[in-house]
Amino acid sequence: MIEQIFKALSSRWRIEILKRIIDTPLCQCEFEKSFPIDKTTLSRHVRELHLAGLIEVEQKGVMKILHIKDERVMEIIQLAEEITAREKERV
């Protein structure tokens, strides 16, 4: 399970999805409008996040509403961003 979480966090698109839904659940269609990737690729990213247990997908008619399952995932992302920023400062 740990491997799935880190695999899910290995994509900038999946991290961006998590960042956007941390405060407010959003419809997957919102990402289709704003991400420069096709619907199929977006669906694969959502599926990866779901399989890793990071999000829930609520079906409301034709809409898929994305929810964060555990907000602590943002702590992992924030920590990784801090480590990356420190490494950039050293170079």
CATH of 2-90, one of 3.40.50.970, 3.40.50.1820, 1.10.10.10, 3.40.190.80: 1.10.10.10
23-79 pLDDT, tens digit per residue, is: 999 999 999 889 999 999 999 999 999 999 999 999 999 999 999 999 999 999 999
**Segments making up each domain of the chain, as ranges:** 2-90
User: For residue 49, how many other CB atoms are within 10 A of its CB?
Assistant: 28
pTM beyond 0.95: the answer is no
Q: What is the DSSP letter of 24?
A: S
Answer yes or no: is pLDDT of 1 > 90: no
Is 48 in contact with 8 (CB distance < 8 Å)? yes
